[in-house]
Amino acid sequence: MRLRLSVLLVSAAWCHAEPVRAEPAPDESCDHYVAREEREFLAEHPGATPAELERYLAGERRECVVEGTTDSGRAEDYETTTRSGAATSEAVPQSSTRVERRDIEERMPRSSPDALRYEPGVYVQQTAQSQGSAYIRGVTGQQTVMLFDGIRLNNSLYRQGPNQYFFTVDSHSVASIDVTRGSGSVLYGSDALGGVIEAHPIEPALAEGLHGLRLSPRTTLRAGTADDEIGGRFELDGQIGDRLGFIGGVGYRDVGLLESGGQIHDSVSKVYSGGERELVPRYAADGRTQLGTGFREATEDARLVYRLGEDTRAVLAIYDYRQFDAPRTDKCPPPFAPAGECLTYEEQFRALGYLALDTDLGRFARGARVGLSLQRQRERRRMDRPASIVDPQYGRDTVLTPGLTLRARTSPFRLWKRASAAIAYGIDAYRDDVSSVAWYEVHTERNDMLVYDSRGQYVEGSSYTWGGAFANLETTMWERLHARAGVRGTRIVAFSPEEPGSETSEIDRGWTSFVGGGGLAWDALPGLTITVNLDQGFRAPNLDDLTSRQQAGPGFQFENPDLVPERSVTLESGVELQRGPLRLAAWGYRMTIDDAMARRVATPEDCPKESQDCRGSWFAYQLMNLEGTAEVVGFEGLAWTRLPLGFSARATVAYARGDGPNPASRPEGSATDWEERVPLSRVPPLNGTVELLWRAPAVGVYLGAGLRWAAKQDRLAPQDEGDARIPLGGTPGYAVLDLRAGYRLGRRLGLALVAENLGDAAYRTHGSSVNGPGRSLMLSAELGL
């Protein structure tokens, strides 16, 4: 037993036993080990397909991590172009990449969405500094699915367009994030039209043969100059005996006003016909610091893993995220409003707890997982209007979501002599119970009162229940041809009670949807795979679509109880090459969406009679199912290569072009500016990244440079024209260069420095309220035992 005393952590670490290392050499890192395994595998199996290689390495990587040699759990310089992650078929790849823990540590993203900004086909929009929404193939929010350790995060209050909820996944609790582009509705049901994001949590290092107690504390401190961020996390990784492992942590950060590289302006001048208009955000006197930014954040998580047997473990975990006093930048102040007015998310909380059993139940249920989960999402919004006696106004929405998931796959079985197959299958069920209330307060010398609105953003007592089952057959034929075919059935029921005071009608609707999908992958040459996938997707209208009344970015949105599900078909094809130090992937796709839900401009007469804030808004919107087919076509590409002398380079590029039927009816007469098809809202522009890295693993040092760029986006939807976040004429293009440097000494010490936006560019990602940070530094220091 060794006793170590940390000067920074007022705690002791008892290491009763060194972790048992099975395969890696005693001093070999997991990264080195997996890289070595890759080389050896390819030498032994020169005809191996990328999928076979990946399957092999995934197992090695898991084993390496479980044995606790490092926390990285990834191959040296391994940059995935294909994954067999949970979101995709193991036989037929989809366009997928993974962000690893080390990427997160080196790039130092400000949030989990921000961690995805170097992924091809992913573009991160920010309505506030405290929010972030990943666009995948031109869609986001409700049209993508977010998972945490296989548990669905999407709930029925996710609103149209970007939302902030992936920001509530603490990036410190994440080991990796998989991004799968393309439809995932067969596996994950409603919403998975554009893609799936799955965060994998950090795991305790559970070593076999350990007796007694092992504790490994770690503290990370982080600071940034652009927003005066200061924060940190204390984490404890431990084990009791050889069966029980645990890891948990608490974190906090305080983020100030964000200084940008400058202001973004309209690129065209015109006499605006839609009423007054003003771009957000508003700036401080220096013209760079953005009002309506900053927030505080507290996190806590705990994960217990109990090994029940060789192939069985139980996981009990809780992840609690609490964000405080986070202004919504485009409403702080709203356009034209007095400077003191501000909409603040006083509380943006999300808690997830679950109990999962990972086991192997024989040939019909390999790798099975049964999970029971409970999530609670809570928002409390405060509108400050200091000049009014109605100050503040509040809204509070809470959704409680119990869930059940079961997933497994069969052992491979022979179809015929040269064909084998396996079936992945599962069921899932979730229910949202919603509480929603709004009120205002008057506090004067004469009065001290609170007045409730008849309803909140949603209707108190609403619920949303859904359950589904899927099966996905995967086959390999003649060794080089892989196929998959899957089907899912889902039943969704939405209920919202009548609320007479606001003239809200009862909703009691249900939808049953069946979707299917399949694909073929051909290993044309060693390391070269050509894939074609055809997948259906669907998204049933959720409670936000059906019942919400809210001030959204472009205007006031009110309910449409008559919406029907939107259904998509995605045809994609990709070529992936993995040979030696070179990996290339290129995918093209076309996604068509029937009955796509989009905002149409509504007249004040369309507004609910009791909704004065709807009728009083410059722009009122109502979701509608478009008559006709919307489509997004595009491509994404990734190239990675390992260069001599420890260098590696990586580049990505992505483009999406979306359009659909004009939500507005053709006006009477000979309107000249009405078009039958118009761009879809806030589809990202052509964008990409370039990274050059140098690592010296022997001494633990790395240096790197990253360039993020985007072209101008001037394809605007009608609703974008009135959106105060989008300059007239479109969002300008940009190029932002970051430099990185760091040093790591195993678990004991890690230092990371990012010099961000060296050119001090004034930029924003399309559709954002907030501009990116100006020239600034971020520093992270990690100390552990």
Partner 1 sequence: MRDRTWGFLIAVCALVGGLGGCGEDDPEPDGDADADSDADADGDGDGDGDADGDGDSDCDPGPACEPADDDYRPREGDPDDEPYADCVADDGDYHPFNPESISTIARVAAFETIADLLWRGGTPTIDDFTNALTEYSTAEGLESRLSRREDVHYPPVEIDGEEVQCRDLTPDQQAENAERCVGPALIQPILNDAFDAGIAGEDPEVNAARIEAALVWFLYVSSHKELSTCVGSQGDCDSGWAYFTGGHQRDETQLGLAAYVQALEAETFDRAFDGVLAVDCWDDLDPPAGDPPARSNLELRDLAISQLDRALLRGVALIVIARLEALSTAEGTERAAWAFLEVLGPVLDREATARDGAAAGRLAAAWAAGPDAIDVEATTCDLETVFHCP
Q: Choose among 232, 288, 289: nearest CA to 256.
A: 289
Under rule CB under 8 A, how many of the chain's residues touch partner 1?
A: 45
Alpha helices in 191-246 (DSSP H): none
Q: Count Cβ atoms within 10 A of the Cβ of residue 367 and give its class: 0-12 exposed, 13-18 middle, 19 or more buried.
A: middle
Return the range that interacts with partner 1 (CB under 8 A); candidates 347-355, 388-396, 414-422, 568-576: 388-396
Closest CA to 732 of 705, 701, 772: 772
Cβ 384 to partner 1 shortest distance, Å? 12
What is the sign, positive or negative, of the torsion defined by CA atoms of 666, 672, 673, 678? positive
**Measured from the CB atom, is 567 or 725 closer to partner 1?**
725
Decide: is 668 part of the binding site for partner 1 (CB under 8 A).
Answer: no
In single-letter form, the type of residue at position 58 comes to A
Does the protein bind partner 1 through residue 275 (CB under 8 A)? yes
Confirm or reject binding of residue 601 to partner 1 (CB under 8 A): yes
| Of the candidate residues 17, 318, 337, 404, the single one contacting partner 1 (CB under 8 A) | 337
Segment near partner 1 (CB under 8 A), from 177-185, 310-318, 488-496, 602-610? 602-610
475: its two tokens: 């086959």
3-state secondary structure at position 198 = strand
User: Considering Cα of 608, then 614, then 616, then 618, what sign does the dihedral take?
Assistant: negative
How far apart CA 609 and CA 611 sit, in angstroms, is 6
Encoding tokens for residue 525? 């040459």
Q: What's the Cα-to-Cα distance from 175 to each of 33, 203, 501, 613, rounded to whole Å?
A: 18, 8, 48, 44
670 interacts with partner 1 by CB under 8 A:
no
Q: Which of 22, 272, 478, 479 binds partner 1 (CB under 8 A)?
A: 272
The span from the CA of 493 to the CA of 347, in Å, is: 29
Contact between 287 and partner 1 per CB under 8 A = no
Q: Which of 273, 309, 672, 673 binds partner 1 (CB under 8 A)?
A: 273
Closest separation between CB of residue 556 and partner 1, Å? 7
Q: Which amino acid is at 569?
A: V
Q: Exposed/middle/buried for 376, CB within 10 Å: 0-12, 13-18, 19+? A: middle
Q: With binding defined as CB under 8 A, does residue 785 bind partner 1?
A: no
Question: For residues 390 and 745, which CB has a smaller minimum distance to partner 1 in the complex?
Answer: 390
Among residues 700, 712, 607, 577, the alpha carbon closest in space to that of 27 is found at 700
Closest approach of Cβ 339 to partner 1, in Å?
5
Taking CB under 8 A as the rule, does residue 179 contact partner 1?
A: no
**698 near partner 1, judged by CB under 8 A:** no
603 sits near partner 1 (criterion: CB under 8 A): yes
Interface residue with partner 1, options 221, 442, 575, 701 (CB under 8 A): 442
Stretch that binds partner 1, among 188-196, 505-513, 598-606, 653-661 (CB under 8 A): 598-606
In terms of CB distance, is 44 or 670 closer to partner 1? 670
Contact 620, 604 (CB under 8 A): yes
x-marked contacts with partner 1 along 355-384 as a string, rule CB under 8 A? ----------------------------x-
- Polymer length in residues for the chain: 785
User: By CB under 8 A, is residue 270 in contact with partner 1?
Assistant: yes
The minimum distance between CB 392 and partner 1, in angstroms, equals: 11
Residue from the set 461, 616, 746, 759 that interacts with partner 1 by CB under 8 A: 616
Point out which span in 17-25, 68-76, 601-609, 701-709 binds partner 1 (CB under 8 A).
601-609
The residue (of 89 and 551) whose beta carbon lies closer to partner 1 is 551
Burial of 278 (0-12, 13-18, 19+ CB in 10 A): exposed
Closest CA to 198 of 84, 304, 87, 123: 87
Of 92 and 291, which has the nearer Cβ to partner 1?
Answer: 291
Residue whose CB is less far from partner 1, 474 or 559: 559
The reply on whether position 613 binds partner 1 by CB under 8 A is yes
Query: Quick one: DSSP state of residue 260?
Result: B
Which tokens hold the place of 706? 């990253």
In the complex, minimum distance from the CB of residue 612 to partner 1, in angstroms, rounded to a whole number: 5
Span near partner 1 by CB under 8 A; candidates 151-159, 311-319, 333-341, 413-421:
333-341
Q: How far is the CB of 451 from partner 1 (least distance, A)?
A: 6
> What are residue 261's phi and psi, to 5 degrees?
-80, -5
Instruction: Confirm or reject binding of residue 618 to partner 1 (CB under 8 A).
Output: yes
Other CB atoms within a 10 A radius of the CB of residue 696 amount to 12
Contacts of 661 (CB under 8 A, 6+ apart): 626, 627, 628, 629, 630, 676, 677, 678
Q: Per-residue contact track with partner 1, 540 to 559, x per CB under 8 A?
A: -----------x----x---
Residue with tokens 């969002």: 731
Nearer to partner 1, 177 or 607 (CB): 607
CB of 390 to partner 1, least distance (A): 4
* CB neighbours of residue 372 within 10 Å: 15
Are the C-beta atoms of 782 and 220 separated by less than 8 Å?
yes
Task: Check residue 615 for interaction with partner 1 (CB under 8 A).
Answer: yes
> Which one, of 562, 535, 681, lies nearest residue 625 by Cα?
562
Q: Which residues bind partner 1 (CB under 8 A)?
A: 269-277, 333, 336-339, 341, 383, 385, 387-390, 393, 440, 442, 444, 446-447, 449, 451, 453, 551, 556, 601, 603-604, 607, 612-620
